[in-house]
Amino acid sequence: MRIKTLYLSTLLLCGTPWTSKAQETMTPELLWSLGRVNLVDVAADGQALIYSVARANVPENRFEREYRWVQTAQGTESRLDFGGLKPSEIQILEKSQRLAFLANGQLHSARFDGTDVLQHTDVEGGMEGVKLVENPEGQWVVLFSRETKTVKGARDLYPSLDKALVTVTEDLMYRHWDHWSDDRSRHICLMRFDAGAAVKKPHSDFVDLMEGEPYDCPGMPFGGAEDFDLSPDGRYAVYSCKKLQGKEAALSTNTDLYWVDLNTLTTTNLTPNRKGYDRMPRFSPNGAYLAYTSMPTPGYESDINELWLRRISDGTEVLAVGGEFLDGFDWRGSGELVYGLPDQGTHKVRTLKFSWKKASFKKEKTLELASGDYDFTGVRCGGTAVFCQRSDMNHAPEVYRIDGKTHQPISRVNDAVYARLQLPKVERHTVKTADGQDMMSWVIYPPNYDPNQPHPALLYCQGGPQSMVSAFYSFRWNFQLMASMGYVVIAPNRRGVPGFGEAWNRSISGDWGGKPMADYLSATDYLRELPGVDPDRIGAVGASYGGYSVYMLAGLHEGRFNALIAHCGLFDMQSWYGTTEELFFAEFDLGGSYWGGAAPLSYSEYNPMNLVDRWETPLMVIHGGKDFRVPENQGFEAFQAAQLRGIPSRLVYFPEEGHWILQPQNALVWQSEFFGWLDRWLKR
């Protein structure tokens, strides 16, 4: 049997170059030429900010990032150079009138225009995730993370066999998402030195605040500087950490907040009685309060995310925002919190003003600052100003300032590209589910859509599973691109997503293959009746839980679909339970293990592999070799089953990718294969 190999040079050479006159709709190549904007930091007075722009260098198969300095009052913008260094984690230091940043793993600083670059540290092994404050004594107090050896590894057991590559374990969590566990941990460390002091070589005068502990902060693999914070005076630090190992860690979401007195180096657990995720500690600008998020339900990673306040003077705590799926916040002054949350298909921004006098905590006012059919994310405050990133299904994120109910653009990185495009039409629709519920669904139409002509269509199945279909802009699951390629797309917020009440969100746990599948079929039947949709040319696509959904629908759809694509989907729930890593997710959402007593329906009626005898629709399977959340055997088993059933099927395997496709050339191959398969079966 011959395995077909697709070479990138062929793909790129065959791609049609776009010009300002010829380009009318979005293409994969144009999508991957867009700048990816990220809000980096905002000055305390709101008069300046920094944002970054990352662009894919496809021939080099990497990303190149630049930083831009904006003076918001004057409306001026300049590019920061930093003497050719490649910076990250930039912070604005008002007292010192400098920008602090990491480059080559060490702390540097520069003037606000990027000149006069100085190196301040020479820490062995380098630094990550820096937070820095300027204390009243004229010092820079720096918190950072670094890797350190904390346990014995295989090379300690076999020192003379240093070429052996092996993992040896007697416990769980031996791998996580896309990396294998080893003998090293990420620790929070402290350093103090005179503001702007020159580098010391070697720089060993730092303190490991987690000395000898085999735990990670920031949490692996996605945690960053949001996992810890410094008080404004540099006296205290707080960090979030799951101080569990092995099976305990695999079965628990219990991260706690740890308070460190940086003068005495004593550490105290602030949240010993909270057994869910406690995260994102943030001191108020005056240092009087600590805010943080907390999930109340142990083991449930998609729980409501409450916002708690702690008064530093006496340790009293109050619930500031409850019953919401809060997804980020910042302080605007020391008596107001600005936070983001999913709500009815978009991510909005709200603000809470409060007063706290003695024993009396009072919520004075709650306002909605930003709404509409947009996603507002990454909220940051400076002075009275609120900044964030705004996106919709036709526009990649840009930096915006929120003024009352208006949104003022700060960055316009991709405006010129979108101005040349014919944009798809995006609509909200209400679909009645099989049990009579109202399900908010997005419908995206091709540019110049003619309802009198038959069009192929797609059902988009969301992953998560507890993840809302919002006004997001993906560089892979891009609705603008799908519609521009001629497809009508329906993207339903089926059972299980946040933003539509806690009951709607929780209802999917233990019922993966039940009502959510009925919701998808209801959305498909609604799609089939839309003017201009050809009911005989409909596909279903999705990733992760969305891939699971595609495998389930393959046995349930009763002729509704003509093509299917599952990316990193779960195929056999029993073997998945036995190979995934964060078992708290499987325990909560599947209802437990497959052995002993009455096994949950997740392993029988709601297990895609048990429906293979009903499969008959052409199926593409996509999977990554470093996906340890949904291991590669899930994709291999599904593809093999389809092949042995004689079903037209295609396997697209990326050995160096994980749960996502991140490398530029791989991403373009993904797009080519994705639309090639759909066009093959839906545009005949």
Enzyme catalytic residues: 544, 627, 659
Query: How many Å is the Cα radius of gyration of the chain?
Result: 26
Q: What is the dihedral of CA 516, 520, 521, 525, to 10 degrees?
A: 150
Q: How far apart are CA 164 and CA 300, in angstroms?
A: 39
Q: Are 54 and 664 in contact (CB under 8 A)?
A: no
Q: Are 376 and 386 in contact (CB under 8 A)?
A: no
Which residues does residue 564 pair with via DSSP β-bridges, in sequence order?
540, 619
Exposed, middle or buried: residue 119 (CB in 10 Å: 0-12, 13-18, 19+)? middle
Q: How far apart are CA 624 and CA 251, in angstroms?
A: 24
Backbone angles phi, psi at 509, to 5 degrees: -65, 125
Backbone angles phi, psi at 389, to 5 degrees: -105, 135
Joined together, the tokens standing for residue 231 give: 């008080």
Q: Which residue has the tokens 């030195």?
A: 193
Dihedral angle sign, alpha carbons of residues 359, 365, 369, 371: positive
Report whether the peptide linkage leading into residue 59 is cis, meaning its omega lies within 30 degrees of zero: no
Q: How far apart are CA 624 and CA 170, in angstroms?
A: 26
Q: How far apart are CA 519 and CA 438, in angstroms?
A: 10
Q: Are 481 and 27 in contact (CB under 8 A)?
A: yes
Residues in the chain: 684
Q: Which residue has the tokens 């921004």?
A: 349
User: 538-567 b/e with 16+ CB inside 10 Å = b?
Assistant: bbbbbbbbbbbbbbbbbbbbeebbbbbbbb
Joined together, the tokens standing for residue 206 give: 């730092």
- Residue 635 has, within 13 A of its CA and on its CB side, a CA count of 29
Q: Are 50 and 68 in contact (CB under 8 A)?
A: yes
3-state helix, strand, coil in the chain (%, to 5): 20, 35, 45
- C-alpha dist (Å) from residue 266 to 132, 187, 316, 506: 20, 16, 20, 40
